Amino acid sequence: MSLHSAVNPRYAVLFDPVRIGPVIAPNRFYQVPHASGMTNALPHVRARFREIKAEGGWGVVCTGAVSIHPSSDDAPLPFATLWDENDVRSHALTVDAVHRHGSLAGIELWHGGASVMNRASRLAPLSPSGVPWMATHVGFMGNQRPRAMDERDIGRLLEWQAEGARKARRAGFDIIYVYAGMGYLPYEFLLPEYNRRTDAYGGSIENRVRLVRQLIEVTREAAGGNAAVALRISLEELRGRPGRHAESEAHEVVTLLADLPDLWDVKMDSSPTDCAPSRFAPEASHEPVIDFVKRLTSRPVVGVGRFTSPDTMVSQIRRGVLDLIGGARASIADPFLPHKIREGREQDIRECIGCNICISSWHDGVPVRCTQNPTAGEEWRRDWHPERVARAASDASVLVVGGGPSGLECALTLGRRGYAVTLADSAREFGGRLRFETRLPGLATWGRVRDWRLSQLAQLSNVTLYPGNELDDEQILELEHTHVVVATGARWSRMLYSAMEVPIAELDVPGVYTPDDVAAGATLEAPVVVFDFDNYYLGGALAEHLAAVGGPVSYVTPAGHASAWTIMTNEQPQVHRALARAHVALHTLSRVHAFDGATATVRNQFTDVETRLPCRSLLIVGLRRPNDALYHALAARGDDLKSAHIASVTCIGDASAPGAIVHAVHSGHRYARALDMPEAELYRRDLPISDVAARIYAAEP
């Protein structure tokens, strides 16, 4: 049976080629530009990361944002550059890798304008009218305000874009972007809040769109008819503004530029709405903003929306919303998504859960990590392929104790390698922490971490599952597996927190609870105080949940925001809105100091000023400790292990070091990859390409 004949006719439309200006995309799967955290410092890591998506069937694979000039410098965030010939060679590695699989390579040329602080280049940021982006969160704050561009600056910008496009051609790219989105420079010209100019570039919508038009024109000229010119544009704000000649300013912009670009790549305006977390936005959440574009242009339109369902994709095309199915997260979670649909294996798609750990990696300044796909970012450095694993190097059998995210991933990868695997869990259902957490508001989609692994495990005859089996060291010795993996997770503690920002002494008095107690069904008498110094999603989600089932709930955190770390995952604005909707009282910069069963004494983190909150139940979401007693019990029985022919006992996931689900999955995968492999290097270290003595020859703007 040929591959093509396996395509479900319902999904065949997804495999139509699409003409984009002078080039042809082999199918409708389009990996839109997305951040990878892989700068030009990691050229091989980056090339392999993008290559795998082409190998998995994405017909177009793009870079993330690539700076065209040192006046667009986002350091220390991990941005890519196209400033000199080293950069050309660096990107050419990616282009060649993508081309090897017959896909098109796109490059997102980028100027950040007033939204970058030029911390490294020390040039004054550029902007239409000197209006700065004054972010409220410290991660994005800067002390450098932009200057207003004069006409000479505009001329230079056009030349940088043209030169960027020429370099992009030399690197071999097929699609070259003009990027007018997400608060970056051309976008700033579109919006009157940033653009207060009184010359030909400001005022009317025709004037505000002029720069974008000129950027497209110079890019087209530089592309010389060999590469397509794509316009990436954010339409959320513009769509909200009534137009003078049309329904909205977004309609006016699209009408004015209509067929000028070869491709419209349409999106939202800010990361939290553009890369919306599944907790607060469903699949295809962009549609109400971008649904009109196709009616106003004859050029193909690509857009995103965390598409993982082929039915949703087909519906987008049939209903005339999109021509190309954009994927960023979907392509990270499953680079082989297109091939799986093509081969009639839709059920094998490793669906993105919308947790946004991937985008947090960019905020952290490191290569992309993914909760669902532990191989993301590891394709080159560890030589991990998302679909292929090395065959088992022995006939060893492995017992995995604990079927949470790490145990499930470990058993699955070991099973794929061909080992005889037994996976046991004391609970009647697998999933570990997900069993409870997916019942909290907005978190059901995260259950895909468990469901996908269980569905894949069901296809492996060499893996046996034993739910409802609590194992102790004696039983494990009797089972005589060659290797034992302990994936028994972690437990929340009742630790409080000091002004030094470290957990201190347990508060073991009646009325104090942990998330494990709530998971076990404890009923918390109101009023409840949730004290969160874990700072990720769980404290906020539990406060929301408890307010819904019993209220009133107060939420106390030493951080400046609720669920403070979720700024990294684009969830934080919505967490605050959700807590407000649930009438949860917020106490930031505060820590619970004492609790007597009726009152929680809260101290300001900086001043120690005390507030007393009525409290019958105190829920502490703070420190998790490894549940590693089983591991230590086994490790202490050296001679017995030998007699039972157990060659190794290893602790993975939260039982080794508690963390987010992404780390547990990675830990399970890492163990399974390494078993019976000769002592391997930790990972390969990438180095920038520096063939040419690098200097930047550009007039100081």
Q: Which residue ranges make up the site for ligand SF4 (CB under 6 A)? A: 329, 332-333, 352-358, 370-372
Residue 116 binds: one of ligand SF4, ligand ADP, none (C-beta under 5 to 8 A by kind): none
Does the active-site annotation cover 184?
A: yes
Cβ pair 146, 113 in contact under 8 A = yes
Number of alpha helices (DSSP H) and beta strands (DSSP E) in the chain: 25, 30
Q: Is the dihedral of CA 386, 325, 264, 54 positive or negative?
A: positive
Looking at residue 694, what DSSP letter applies? -
Between the alpha carbon of residue 333 and those of residues 177, 266, 351, 392, the distances in Å are 24, 22, 6, 25
Please spell the DSSP secondary structure of 551-610, one letter per residue.
--EEEE-SSSSTTGGGGTTT-HHHHHHHHHHTTPEEE-SEEEEEE-SSEEEEEETTT--E
Q: Are strands 301-303 and 263-267 parallel, antiparallel or unpaired?
A: parallel
Classify residue 678 by its DSSP letter. Answer: -
Per CB under 6 A, 403 contacts ligand ADP: yes
Hunting for tokens 């030998």 — which residue is that? 642
**Dihedral sign for Cα atoms in the order 542, 545, 547, 550:** negative
Minimum distance of ligand SF4 from residue 38's CB (angstroms): 15
Ordered DSSP codes for 46-70: HHHHHHHHHHTT-SEEEEEEEESST
Closest CB to ligand SF4 among residues 53, 169 = 53
Would you count residue 404 as binding ligand ADP (CB under 6 A)?
A: yes
| 432 binding ligand ADP? (CB under 6 A) | yes
Strands 483-486 and 648-651: parallel
Contact 531, 557 (CB under 8 A): yes
Which residue from 158, 366, 427, 499 is in contact with ligand ADP, where contact means CB under 6 A? 427
Q: Does 489 sit near ligand ADP (CB under 6 A)?
A: yes
Work out what residue 131 binds among ligand SF4, ligand ADP, none; the CB cut-off runs from 5 to 8 Å by kind. Answer: none
- In this structure, which amino acid lies at residue 429? E
Name which position in 84, 87, 544, 654 contacts ligand ADP (CB under 6 A).
654
Which residue lies nearer to ligand ADP by CB, 274 or 425?
425
Burial class (CB in 10 A: 0-12, 13-18, 19+), 134: exposed
Which of the residues 179, 184, 419, 671 is marked catalytic?
Answer: 184
Q: Considering CB distances under 5 to 8 angstroms, the limit depending on partner class, which of ligand ADP, ligand SF4, none binds residue 389? A: none
Size of the site for ligand ADP (CB under 6 A): 25
The CB density around residue 472, as the number of other CB atoms within 10 Å, is 12
Task: Kindly state the smallest distance separating residue 337's Cβ from ligand ADP, in Å.
Answer: 25
Dihedral of CA 317/25/10/345: which sign?
negative
Identify which range of 10-18, 215-223, 402-410, 457-465 contacts ligand ADP by CB under 6 A: 402-410
Min dist. Cβ of residue 409 to ligand ADP (A): 8
Question: Which CB, 666 or 673, lies closer to ligand SF4?
Answer: 666
Residue 177 three-state SS: strand
Can you tell me which of 171, 176, 266, 424 binds ligand ADP, judged by CB under 6 A?
A: 424
Continuous segment of H or E residues that includes residue 662:
helix 661-674
Q: Which of 291, 282, 297 has the alpha carbon at shortest distance from 322?
A: 291
Closest separation in Å from C-beta 438 to ligand ADP: 11
423 bridge partner residues? 400, 465
CB of 444 to ligand ADP, least distance (A): 16
* Residue 355's binding partner out of ligand ADP, ligand SF4, none, with CB under 5 to 8 Å set by partner kind: ligand SF4
Q: DSSP string spanning 373-413?
A: -TTTT-TTTS---SS--PPPSS--EEEEE--SHHHHHHHHH
Listed ranges 101-109, 323-331, 536-544, 647-655: which one lies at the site for ligand ADP (CB under 6 A): 647-655
d(CA 683, CA 666): 14
Considering the complex, what minimum distance in angstroms separates the CB of residue 278 from ligand ADP?
19
Assess 664 for contact with ligand ADP (CB under 6 A).
yes
Stretch that binds ligand ADP, among 142-150, 159-167, 488-496, 680-688 (CB under 6 A): 488-496
Contact 479, 442 (CB under 8 A): no
626 binds ligand ADP (CB under 6 A): no
The interface partner of residue 432, options being ligand SF4, ligand ADP, none and the CB cut-off 5 to 8 Å by kind, is: ligand ADP
Give the interface segment with ligand ADP, choosing from 132-140, 483-491, 508-516, 579-587 (CB under 6 A): 483-491
- From the list 74, 87, 425, 571, which residue makes contact with ligand ADP (rule: CB under 6 A)? 425
Least Å distance between CB 538 and ligand ADP? 12
Q: Is 453 in the site for ligand ADP (CB under 6 A)?
A: no
Q: How far is the CB of 346 from ligand SF4 (least distance, A)?
A: 17
**374 near ligand ADP, rule: CB under 6 A:** no
Residue 74 interface partner, choices ligand SF4, ligand ADP, none, CB cut-off 5-8 Å depending on type: none
Instruction: Confirm or reject binding of residue 487 to ligand ADP (CB under 6 A).
Output: yes
The set of catalytic residues is 184
Positions that interact with ligand ADP (CB under 6 A):
401-407, 424-427, 432-433, 470-471, 487-490, 627, 630, 653-655, 664
